[in-house]
Structure 1
Amino acid sequence: MGFHIVLYQPEIPYNTGNIARTCAATNTTLHIIRPMGFSTNDRMLKRAGCDYWHSVDVRYYDSLQECMEQYAKHRFFFVETDGAKTYTEISYQDGDFFVFGKETTGIPQSILDEHKENWVNIPMSVEHVRSLNLSNTAAILVYEALRQLQFPGLR
């Protein structure tokens, strides 16, 4: 089955392209919630994805609710800097979803409030930065989940 990355209204093509490359390398499905801040034909998007787009299972939705309803039996984790649990406190399961917000505003507070029990963070110093890069954060989460399951299907 594999893991799933959900990008909530992504704005920066480089980040989405880099995440698509991570998805191709890890057999992770990429779910994109519209609207996006760029076109999927964007030259920067394809460049950042390094022509791996044909190897990525990408699915599009008009709302996060639509995605969550389609996968109602799965667990969704919402990744934000103020999450109460660190990402390493979770025992991940095959089929889990990791939701990441817009680069500029994150996941809307109303969505986070509905899912407080599954709100996670990656510890970092906030003295010099307010957040990590979105594509780095996605890679950290996916690889931790894969590590816990001993990297199924990867060499």
Structure 2
Amino acid sequence: MINIVLLEPEMPANTGNIGRTCCATGTRLHLIEPMGFKINDKMLKRAGLDYWDKLDVTVYDCLDDFFEKNPDAVGNMYMATTKAKHKYSDVSFSKDAYIMFGKESAGIPEEILVEYEHTAIRIPMNQDIRSLNLSNSVAIILYEALRQNDFFSMQTEGNLHRLHWNEE
């Protein structure tokens, strides 16, 4: 199962949207304090709609708490940042990869990024743009990781319901 890690998220709507994406994909969500909202924030619930109770989510007191409770993340962590040299599409995500995203206003602190420079990844974008929306960035990278793992057991085909019109 892929793991999405949000380091100090600030906007409840983004986190709610990411939670909904995690529900739709069977992905675990890890939230690292401090956050810019309370977990019961109505904006969080509105963005996550009625899926929040189905979400596999854990909240951690700090980054050290996260690593202490997830020792398998240490050698299996990708850092999504605009400061990376590698594109997200150039790496091979394992079935249990951890992908970390930083807070909306500042991203992942550089003192953390230097420890993960070899697994820091970026989404290509025009030079004049600072960054993409956090929930969009999560969706882009998460779906690439899922694609590489053949979407696990997700539904990959739909069915059209053909209408039969009466001819008169």
Q: Which amino acid aligns with 2:143?
A: Y
Map of 2:144 onto structure 1: 144
- Residues of 2 paired with 1:91 and 1:36: CA distance? 30
Q: RMSD in angstroms over aligned alpha carbons? A: 0.9
> Which stretches in structure 1 are left out of the alignment for 5+ residues?
none
Map of 2:5 onto structure 1: 6
TM superposition shift of 1:10: 0.4
**Normalized against structure 2, the TM-score is what?**
0.88
Map of 1:17 onto structure 2: 16
TM superposition shift of 1:63: 1.6
Map of 2:81 onto structure 1: 80
Map of 2:56 onto structure 1: 57
- Residues of 2 paired with 1:36 and 1:65: CA distance? 15
Map of 2:127 onto structure 1: 126
CA deviation map 1:37-89 (0-9, x unaligned):
01111111100001211111110111222222322234010000111110011
Q: Secondary structure at the match of 1:41?
A: coil
Q: Secondary structure at the match of 1:125?
A: coil
- Residues of 1 paired with 2:108 and 2:28: CA distance? 19
Identity among equivalent pairs (%): 48
**Normalized against structure 1, the TM-score is what?**
0.95
Map of 2:41 onto structure 1: 42
Map of 1:69 onto structure 2: 68
CA deviation map 1:79-133 (0-9, x unaligned):
0011111001111111100100010011111000111111110000122x21000
Number of paired residues?
A: 153
> Which stretches in structure 2 are left out of the alignment for 5+ residues?
156-168
Q: Which amino acid aligns with 1:20?
A: G
- Residues of 2 paired with 1:84 and 1:67: CA distance? 26
- Residues of 2 paired with 1:14 and 1:144: CA distance? 23
2:106 counterpart of 1:105: yes
Q: Secondary structure at the match of 2:43?
A: helix
